[in-house]
Chain A
Amino acid sequence: MENKKKKFKILRYRPETDDAPHYETYEVSYRHETSILDALNEIRDTQAPDLSYRSSCRMAVCGSCAMMINGVPHLACKTFVRDYEKVDIITLEPLENFPIERDLVCDISDMVEKIERVKPYIIPIDKAKPLTEDFVQSPRQLEKYRQFAQCINCGCCYAACPQYKLNKEFIGPAALTLLYRYNHDNRDAGTPQRLEILNQDSGAWGCTMVGYCSDVCPKLVDPTSAIQLGKGASAFDYIKHFFKKNK
């Protein structure tokens, strides 16, 4: 069986002893199937028992293991060591644009708060309708938002977004994607509440269409598209209110 070795340079930060993060280098054996997460498990089990990182599902569903791999946001479970054959060292850092809590663990509470702000749930049209009754949705109605419903809140898009890097008020790609996803669900009646967030400078208009969030999204959600479509909805809402005021 093939058994090669690869060096990993990991940004370590232990708040109880360190004032600032620093790099430490490890070497692990890997096979064709070894993911970055497998390599991290190997490092923790054999060389650095105090190494902290998040992971859970190991199959790109939970979004816990998002980190910077050679400067690019990726899920560690969905990225393979074999994809870095040409480089001598793989650098692992916590997600950019978030405070580092410890080693590869960062504090994503700002993103979570912003996602909560857009009310990412169905606000029923008829609140009196019993839950035992059907809410009909055709395949076409589903297709309107299906792509944007694949978000796993991993934070890769926030780590890639230069607008969020420079302005933490910007609500960010994942929140705006979920905002679009629920606004275009035919079972939902929350659009007026979400438009208030979308229309702000920190909403869709805070995006300058860099497009990198879509490049790095591990679930191919395409937040850039959702945000630009959101700008269209926001502009339409502005024109609608302009004519209403001037009537």
Chain B
Amino acid sequence: MESHRKPYIREVKRSWWLSNRVYTRYMIREGTAVLSLLVSLELLAICLITVIFPDNAQTIIVTMIQHPAIIIFNIIALLAVMFHTVTWFSLMPKAVRVFRSSSPKETRLLPAHFFLISLWLVTIVASAIIALALIFAV
């Protein structure tokens, strides 16, 4: 019997990530890494300025970070990191599988919202400590 088998492989378009909202959201989440990299470079530039121009470093840094372009960039970067945090935290409970107690008869797992609330509490407390430390340091 003659075979007409000819499997057809569909082409993957460059725009595949625009075909579904989940993929688009994922690509934006991954894309926020670029903004994090740019913020790191900004911080590195600030450190280098203090080393290269020790006498008038503060003036240069204040002028730089008060520039409208830098302010807009930092706001966008902050929003991007917030988006990353929200999407990442929503997936984090999947990486943990813990029983509610150590009793051998316990078969119930800790619910996802337990980890989600814990992560947000840690984030809020850590952010508050950093903010207070910066305020008092200034």
Chain B residue nearest in CB terms to A229: B97
Cα A142 to Cα B106 with chains together (Å): 11
Q: Is the CB of A215 within 8 A of B106?
A: no
Q: Is the CB of A140 within 8 A of B8?
A: no
Q: Is the CB of A71 within 8 A of B97?
A: no
Task: Identify which of A15-23, A51-59, A80-88, A127-135 touches chain B.
Answer: A15-23
Question: Does B68 sit within 8 A of A, measured CB to CB?
Answer: no
Question: Does A112 sit within 8 A of B, measured CB to CB?
Answer: no
Question: Does A99 sit within 8 A of B, measured CB to CB?
Answer: yes
| Interface size grouping (class) on chain A | 35 or more
A211 contacts which of B6, B10, B12, B91 (Cβ < 8 Å)?
A: B91
Known: A13-B8, A140-B104. A71 touches B95 (CB 8 A): no
Question: Does B67 sit within 8 A of A, measured CB to CB?
Answer: no
Binary per-residue interface labels of chain B (95-119) against chain A in the complex, 1 for a CB within 8 Å, 0 otherwise: 1010100001111010000000000
Q: Is the CB of A99 within 8 A of B7?
A: yes
Q: Is the CB of A100 within 8 A of B7?
A: yes
Binary per-residue interface labels of chain A (194-212) against chain B in the complex, 1 for a CB within 8 Å, 0 otherwise: 0000000000000011111
Question: Does B30 sit within 8 A of A, measured CB to CB?
Answer: yes
B95 contacts which of A100, A107, A142, A231 (Cβ < 8 Å)?
A: A231
Q: Is the CB of B94 within 8 A of A224?
A: yes
Contacts of B107 in A (CB 8 A): 139-140, 142-143
Q: Is the CB of A208 within 8 A of B22?
A: no
Cα A232 to Cα B7 with chains together (Å): 38
The DSSP consensus for interface residues of chain A is: mixed
Q: Is the CB of A165 within 8 A of B16?
A: yes
Cα A60 to Cα B99 with chains together (Å): 29
Minimum C-beta distance from B68 to chain A (A): 35
Which B residues fall within an 8 A CB radius of A? 4-10, 12, 16-17, 19-20, 22-23, 26, 30, 91, 94-95, 97, 99, 104-107, 109
Can you name 30 A-B residue pairings with CB atoms under 8 Å?
A15-B6, A15-B7, A16-B4, A20-B8, A71-B20, A96-B10, A99-B7, A99-B9, A100-B10, A101-B5, A101-B7, A139-B107, A140-B99, A140-B104, A140-B105, A143-B109, A162-B16, A162-B17, A162-B26, A165-B16, A166-B12, A209-B94, A210-B22, A211-B94, A212-B20, A224-B91, A225-B94, A225-B97, A228-B95, A232-B95
Which A residues fall within an 8 A CB radius of B? 13, 15-16, 20-21, 71-72, 96, 99-101, 107, 138-140, 142-144, 162, 165-166, 208-212, 214-215, 222, 224-225, 228-229, 231-232
